[in-house]
Amino acid sequence: MRTTLLRAGSLAGITAALLAGSAGVSAAGDAVTGSAFGASASVSVLPGVLTGDKGITVETGQLAASSSTGPASASVADVPLKGLVTAKAISSSVVTGDGTVAAKASVAEATLPLLAPVAGRVPSIRVISARCASADGHVTGSSDLAGVNLGRLGTLPAATGPNQRLGIPGVAEVIVNEQVQRYDGGLEITALHVKLLDGDAKRLGSGDVKLASVTCGPSKEHAPQAPPRPGPGQVVVVPAGAPQTGDGSLAAEG
Paired sense of beta strands 205-216 and 34-45, if any: antiparallel
Mean pLDDT of 58-86: 93
**Total-model pTM:** 0.74
What are the pLDDT digits (tens) for 99-133?
A: 899 999 999 999 999 999 889 999 999 999 999 99
The residue ranges of every structural domain in the chain are: 2-223, 227-254
User: Strand pairing partners for 95?
Assistant: 102
Long-range contacts of 28-32 (CB under 8 A, 24+ apart): 29/220, 30/99, 30/219, 30/220, 30/221, 31/68, 31/96, 31/99, 31/219, 32/68, 32/96, 32/99, 32/100, 32/101, 32/134, 32/135, 32/216, 32/217, 32/218, 32/219
DSSP 135-196: ETTEEEEEEEEEEEE-GGG----SEE-S-EEEEETTTEEEEEEEEEE-TTS-EEEEEEEEEE
Residue 219: what pLDDT? Answer: 62
Q: Is the pLDDT of residue 72 over 80?
A: yes
Higher pLDDT, 222 or 172: 172
Mean pLDDT of 32-51: 90
